[in-house]
Amino acid sequence: MKLSFHGADLGVTGSCHMVECAGKRILIDCGLYQGGRELEEENVEPFGFDPASVDYLLLTHAHLDHCGRIPLLAKRGFKGEIITTSATRELARLVLLDSAHLQEEEARHKSRRASRRGRETEVPPLYSVLDALNCLEYFGRTAAYGGALLLAPGIRATFIDAGHILGSAVILLELTESGRQRRVVFSGDLGNAGQPILRDPQPPPPADVVVMETTYGDRLHRALEPSVEEFYAAVSETFQRGGNVIIPTFALERAQEILYYLRLGVESGRLSQGMHVFLDSPMAISATEIFEHHPECYDRKTTELFKRGEDPFHMPGLHFSRDASESMAINRITAGAVIMAGSGMCTGGRVRHHLRHNLWRDRCSIVFVGYAAKGTLARRIIDGEKSVDIFGENVAVRASVHTINGFSAHADQAELLQWHKHAGNPEITFLVHGEPFAMQQFAARLQHTNPVIPELHEEFEL
């Protein structure tokens, strides 16, 4: 039995881990590296194993940094079975097709740039829309929360609610080889308890080996309630000043969560009835539709709302902009609008246009409600740069910048420690999916286990 690491090692993105047992190879996640050119160049590198030799790919959730290299895996020979929860399957399809579109667009840009320099080289995309469509045929069984699936003799997998995004799961592997038994738990990404819409993360079962994320291994979140109040105050004050509120939004989960709170704000009178809310992201609009047909993932409150015939994601004044022309029309609005657009870290997408129109205006606000990796435009604005480059233009940062931490979809240090405690006293705990500093801080707090921070392609006997 072996466990090896092929992504999100000493870093946050590119999750990919492999288990070898009873003659089978099982991959847990196959994510994209994101955040800055240097990291993204990692994506074209060899996986560190032969994709054709992989029998199963178990996906913890549909975020790109966990599923984004699947089309590449299939293109390089993977022919196994991909197993996910049913909500993850639907979201992954959306996420992968969107990613393929972006890859194609980026490759076209690079090719054009090369020709302008007098080089007639065609830069191929990391993968194409066709590659993304092709990989969908490997999505096989879906897993219900809590039910064990037999993958092969000696290998059982159980998906447990991770409370991170719709369909997200912790995966328990029960392995038997030559009479030796090992229980290995992969945390995937763990949710932040008390968030609306989804259930809280379920405690993991006892395990011999734990592989866990450490995104916020070094810090505690602010409580949710003051964060929601801070959010309402930022919106109201901006409208009083006569500006717009730009919210760089992750299409999955965070967009729906913000819609949920905006509706609640209007209903409780804390936000103006007359405000206009633009969800300017075709992907977030589709994701919201997917949310509406996966009630098996909701918490009690959201289930009750739907039962009463109320939609937690809708309110008066809400506009969905799918077309580019609708998106451009928003640029003419100078006040009274909440504009939600991707990408969440401002590395691409429509939000960059909205930033170009609003970032330099001191009446406006930019409200960050999610994680911003090093090297991204979001991080530069949050870190207080006086001006930033958008579409080759220097734009002054004069808008108020708010970073609201309580909305995190990730568990904080206390929640991670609590989760780890439920896994019993694992012999070994591998820390992945975090910045090195967060990992070291977290490792120092762990008790009754041997914490290990693996390096890329490092292999361990189980």
- Using the minimum distance from each CB to Zn ion, give the nearer residue, 68 or 406: 68
Identity of residue 306: F
CA–CA gap between residue 41 and residue 44 (Å, rounded) = 6
Least distance from Zn ion to the Cβ atom of residue 162, Å:
9
Least distance from Zn ion to the Cβ atom of residue 64, Å:
9
Least distance from Zn ion to the Cβ atom of residue 253, Å:
8
Which range of residues in 62-70, 108-116, 358-366, 441-449 is near Zn ion by CB under 5 A? 62-70
- Using the minimum distance from each CB to Zn ion, give the nearer residue, 165 or 399: 165
Interface of this chain with Zn ion, residues 175 to 194, rule: CB under 5 A: 189
Q: Give 124-179 as a 3 state SS string.
A: CCCCCHHHHHHHHHHEEEECCCCCEEEEECCEEEEEEECCCCCCCEEEEEEEEECC
Which range of residues in 56-64, 220-228, 357-365, 430-438 is near Zn ion by CB under 5 A? 56-64
Which range of residues in 57-65, 352-360, 384-392, 395-403 is near Zn ion by CB under 5 A? 57-65
Which of 16, 296, 307 is CA-nearest to residue 146? Answer: 296
- Using the minimum distance from each CB to Zn ion, give the nearer residue, 211 or 271: 211
- Using the minimum distance from each CB to Zn ion, give the nearer residue, 167 or 312: 167
Interface of this chain with Zn ion, residues 406 to 435, rule: CB under 5 A: none
Angle between helices 254-267 and 224-241 (to 10 degrees): 70
- Using the minimum distance from each CB to Zn ion, give the nearer residue, 7 or 265: 7
Q: How far apart are the first and last CA of the chain?
A: 5
Least distance from Zn ion to the Cβ atom of residue 164, Å:
6
Least distance from Zn ion to the Cβ atom of residue 405, Å:
16
Least distance from Zn ion to the Cβ atom of residue 163, Å:
11
Cα–chain center distance at 96 = 13
CA–CA gap between residue 112 and residue 162 (Å, rounded) = 43
Least distance from Zn ion to the Cβ atom of residue 293, Å:
21
Could you please report the per-residue DSSP string of 73-100?
HHHTT--SEEEE-HHHHHHHHHHHHHHH
CA–CA gap between residue 381 and residue 390 (Å, rounded) = 12
Residue pair 61/83 in contact by the 8 Å Cβ criterion: no
Query: Is 221 an interacting residue with respect to Zn ion (CB under 5 A)?
Result: no
Query: Is 253 an interacting residue with respect to Zn ion (CB under 5 A)?
Result: no
- Using the minimum distance from each CB to Zn ion, give the nearer residue, 174 or 253: 253
Least distance from Zn ion to the Cβ atom of residue 91, Å:
11
Least distance from Zn ion to the Cβ atom of residue 176, Å:
30
Tell me how many residues contact Zn ion (CB under 5 A): 2
- Using the minimum distance from each CB to Zn ion, give the nearer residue, 63 or 199: 63
- Using the minimum distance from each CB to Zn ion, give the nearer residue, 24 or 69: 69
Identity of residue 235: V
Query: Is 63 an interacting residue with respect to Zn ion (CB under 5 A)?
Result: yes
- Using the minimum distance from each CB to Zn ion, give the nearer residue, 131 or 189: 189
Least distance from Zn ion to the Cβ atom of residue 229, Å:
26
Which range of residues in 61-69, 235-243, 284-292, 391-399 is near Zn ion by CB under 5 A? 61-69
Which of 165, 93, 196, 200 is CA-nearest to residue 344? Answer: 165
How many helices (H) does the chain have, and how many strands (E)? 14, 22
For the sheet with 337-341, list strands across it. Answer: 318-320, 276-279, 337-341, 245-248, 365-368, 400-403
303 three-state secondary structure:
helix
- Using the minimum distance from each CB to Zn ion, give the nearer residue, 63 or 420: 63
CA–CA gap between residue 350 and residue 26 (Å, rounded) = 37
The CB-side HSE value for 196 (13 A sphere, CA atoms) comes to: 22
Compute φ and ψ for 155, nearest 5 degrees.
Answer: -135, 110
- Stated length of the chain: 462
- Using the minimum distance from each CB to Zn ion, give the nearer residue, 63 or 402: 63
Least distance from Zn ion to the Cβ atom of residue 63, Å:
4
- Max CA distance (Å), the chain: 70
- Contacts with Zn ion, residue ranges (CB under 5 A): 63, 189
